[in-house]
Structure 1
Amino acid sequence: MGDAAYGLWPLVVLNTLLFIVFAASFFHPTTQRDWRAMGGYSAFLVALFTEMYGIPLTLYLLGSWLGSRFPLLKGTHAGGHLWNDLTGWSGDPHLSPFHLASYLAIGTGFWLIAAAWRRLHEAVRHDHLATTGPYAWVRHPQYDGFLLIMIGFLLQWPTILTLIMFPILVYVYWRLARSEEHEVATHFGEQWAAYAERTPAFWPKLRHRPTGSHPSPGDARQRHRPATGR
């Protein structure tokens, strides 16, 4: 594969750092658990951009297997848009349904991380449990945000390594969320139990907006990165 669009290691470093710093500016990691969440996200980006601009390992592997059936897999940079090639999309790969869906997922993910942090920061500042905004829909909106960004990149530029990493990171975030919930349940008691009963962890109930989303003045102090936050 002699495509000049590969082997661009400065772009690998630049894009990786850009998306890491961008996410960190919204996420504001402070605790060890926060940095673990950022670490998983960062590892995903390193694997992604290494194949996008560095060494196209997925194309090497799939090209030898499927190259005769899908010509783009033989070595062009456009072959990295695997969903387009595998489904026969012949237009501009950046305007394909997969790419447009990826923009929506990535943008929504960053918005969710930022919106959730603002609600969490406000709740901590006023000694409230964060139950408004994104927290009225799910208990861990910022983790959802990270997963949406990763899904967006998988729609845009799937690789064997990132497809393997994604379910592992889902499990990692689930474990982090469970750990946070245990601590917050101990700290908040019945207030947390009532909130957890009406609010799903990751997947929102779309039939109706959750009730009781406004914190009461008697709420106990919430930890800076609570189970309700991720």
Structure 2
Amino acid sequence: MTHSDVPAYGLWGVAAVNAAVFILFAFSFFKPHTPRDWRSFGVFSGFLVALFAEMYGFPLTIYLLSGWLQSRFPGVNWLSHDAGHLLEMMFGWRTNPHFGPFHIASFVLIGGGFMLISVAWKVLHTAQQEQKLATGGIYSRIRHPQYVGFILVMFGFLLQWPTLLTLGMFPVLVVMYVRLARHEERDALREFGEDYRRYAAQVPPFVPRVWRRADRAAGRVKPEDAG
């Protein structure tokens, strides 16, 4: 198996810089305002700190699972940095883990997630400036694209570098984002009334209805029946 035999941990400065960059980037788009916003963003920030602390600081997950990992995968040097790519190591891909399928998939998910957050923020910001309901662009496909983006980013990191802490935090964050979305929907319903009710009836919250869009394009679904 191709991997580096040189230990690469204890780099706490690198861990701090990476965590700070991703947290500030996410903050620039999310811009939390309410206590609920800050709680969810705080847990997301904790997810990134826990991730990079193990990626460059101390490999806690590998340390705790070292006995089981060494017995099941004796050909891997679990003290090397590459071994932190657990999925690549456990599936035995005969390549540099940075070019393995899980790592490539993680880049697609992380990049796509941040792109979704960025695109959604532009539409939402414009609508807020005009005091209108955001229904254009990506908001015409799903009601909460920013939260979907954050979930994609976290899932991408899990594929790239899974840890016990981040695996435990991931479902907690997903639940928090779903609850936050529900709170925002109640606020939007109070502010926009029937306009938001019609919008919510036509546009799903998190997963786009691809099949309905295709049916409508083929003339099998009437616009007033969509939703």
TM-score by length of 1: 0.86
RMSD of aligned alpha carbons: 1.8
* AA matched with 1:62: L
Matched, 1:29 2:45: no
Match of 1:13 among 11, 16, 19: 16
Aligned to 2:92: 88
Aligned-partner Cα distance in 2 for 1:189–1:29: 24
Residues 79-104 of structure 1: CA deviation (Å, up to 9, x unaligned):
11011011111201111111111111
Residue range with higher mean Cα deviation, 166-175 or 120-129 = 120-129
Aligned-partner Cα distance in 2 for 1:3–1:163: 26
Residues 44-90 of structure 1: CA deviation (Å, up to 9, x unaligned):
00110111011111101221112122132632211110110111112
Aligned-partner Cα distance in 2 for 1:177–1:28: 15
Structure 2 segments unaligned to the other structure (5+ residues): 217-227
Aligned-pair identity in percent equals 54
Deviation of 1:35 (Å): 2.4
Structure 1 segments unaligned to the other structure (5+ residues): 212-230
User: In the TM superposition, what are the counterparts of 1:147-226 in structure 2 within 5 Å?
Assistant: 147-209=151-213
8 Å CA contact 1:27–1:114 kept in 2: the answer is: no
8 Å CA contact 1:66–1:73 kept in 2: the answer is: no
Deviation of 1:3 (Å): 5.8
8 Å CA contact 1:108–1:145 kept in 2: the answer is: yes
Aligned-partner Cα distance in 1 for 2:6–2:51: 18
In the comparison of the two structures, how many residue pairs are matched? 210
Runs of 4+ residues over 6 Å off in structure 1: none
8 Å CA contact 2:37–2:180 kept in 1: the answer is: no
Aligned to 1:48: 51
Aligned to 2:133: 129
Match of 1:110 among 107, 114, 120: 114
Residue range with higher mean Cα deviation, 35-44 or 70-79 = 70-79
Aligned-partner Cα distance in 2 for 1:60–1:136: 46
Deviation of 1:41 (Å): 1.3
Matched, 1:63 2:58: no
Deviation of 1:31 (Å): 3.5
Deviation of 1:36 (Å): 2.6
Aligned-partner Cα distance in 2 for 1:60–1:5: 14
Residues 179-222 of structure 1: CA deviation (Å, up to 9, x unaligned):
111111122211111111111111111124499xxxxxxxxxxx
Residue range with higher mean Cα deviation, 79-88 or 202-211 = 202-211
Please state whether the residue corresponding to 1:90 is helix, strand or coil.
Answer: coil
Please state whether the residue corresponding to 1:131 is helix, strand or coil.
Answer: coil
Residue range with higher mean Cα deviation, 134-143 or 68-77 = 68-77
Aligned-partner Cα distance in 2 for 1:73–1:150: 27
